Amino acid sequence: MARHAAAAGLLVWAVLLMVVVLGAGSYSPTHERRLQNLFSALFPKGPLPLPVRIYCKQNTTLNAAIRDNTVVLTKANSSDPTQMWFQLYSSSSFVQPIGLRPFSLVNAATSQVVVIPPFSGEFPSCLAEPNNNQLQLTENFDLNKAREELWTRGAPRADGFYQVIVTKDPSMTLNGLLGNVRDGTVIGIYPSTTQAENTLWKLTSASPFPFSFP
């Protein structure tokens, strides 16, 4: 009995923590329940993982967000739920520390799964050109895509940033397309030839980098 109460307490705590982390008002218990239902095949027993924010080394005041159904870097805003992402780790038949397991990215606000485009072979040189290497999004949460569209964390450097590698094609990594990232930079994939600052990321639910959560 006491054990049940403790378990229930833990669950409530996890839910409360999520609401606090995501900012009161931007992420309701109803939304939490909806997500829990969507992800029920992935998390049949436990609470959802904490969402992460995605930062680029080149400009840490920016976060990955969804604008016009496109994944872009934009000014960090703790009240914008599209800046929160779930890393859904694949279960692995061989034992691997969780941080090294492939994961998919699901937006906490929209439940859309990030779809990795095939590399187009094109190297657009300005923002105005169409960029076929940009990340795509499923229309809704899609369990099959969540299982297929996988990323693997690269080895962290001394500063804690790492490349985010396309699991099925490790020659490609997550990229703030065209570099010199700014508000509005589209995020995509690109050949991982250098460890330029627009190819280095942190995915973290930990404060205070660079936020303190409300």
Query: Would you tell me which residues interact with ligand NAG (CB under 6 A)?
Result: 59, 61-62, 75, 77, 79-80, 182-183
Q: 98 or 127: whose CB is closer to ligand NAG?
A: 127
Residues 6 or more apart whose Cβ sits within 8 Å of residue 201: 54, 55, 56, 57, 161, 162, 163, 164, 174
Nearest to 181 by CA among 198, 194, 195, 165: 198
- Smallest distance, ligand NAG to C-beta of residue 46, A: 29
Nearest-approach distance from CB 119 to ligand NAG, in angstroms: 27
CA 12 to chain centroid: 24
| 174: nearest Cα among 123, 124, 125, 114 | 114
The nearer residue to ligand NAG, 31 or 168, going by C-beta atoms, is 31
Give the nearer residue to ligand NAG in terms of CB position, either 22 or 88.
22
d(CA 90, CA 138): 18
172 versus 178: smaller Cβ distance to ligand NAG: 178
Least distance (Å) from ligand NAG to the CB of residue 13? 26
CA distance 175 to 163: 9
Q: Rounded to the nearest whole angstrom, what is the least distance from the CB of residue 214 to ligand NAG in the complex?
A: 12
